[in-house]
Amino acid sequence: MTSDAVRRVQSGSPWEESFGFARAVAAGDRVLVGGTTSFKGTVLYGEGDPYEQAKVAFTSAVDAIGEFGLDIGSVIRTRMYLTHVRDVDAAGRAHKEIFDAVRPVSTLLVVEGFVDPRILVEVELEAYRGAVDS
């Protein structure tokens, strides 16, 4: 695969520039969306609310695949990272509301923490583009 077959999308996250990463990368028939929180710029949405943070984060991740002409029906994998096991049901409820009709494979992990302690949920997703001309 040549480098011109790989496209990247930035979201404006302050960490993208300082850490050197893209929000989403399309390579071949896959689009990968990296760790996405409920931050939009420097504002954290849903502070203290894992359900709201999960909804905002997944919506931002789905918006990122939209930059490649994809929608929620293209999502084949999700990952949820939580800081507290008590938040599993809240994050799961948000996931079901967004992805119930699509039913991607999913992984949920409880982690020690995130770069900002107010973050309760971080998500990733993978989408399938089908046959792509290279």
Task: Give per-residue pLDDT as tens, 13-41.
Answer: 666 565 666 778 899 999 999 999 999 88
Residue 52 exposed, middle or buried by CB count within 10 Å (0-12, 13-18, 19+): middle
Contact 52, 45 (CB under 8 A): yes
Which has more pLDDT, 11 or 37? 37
Enter the tokens of residue 91: 């994050």
pLDDT-above-70 percentage for the chain: 85
pTM flag (> 0.95): no
In whole angstroms, how far apart are CA 123 and each of 4, 94, 129? 27, 12, 20
Separation between Cα atoms, residue 30 and residue 134, nearest integer Å:
13
Separation between Cα atoms, residue 59 and residue 98, nearest integer Å:
8
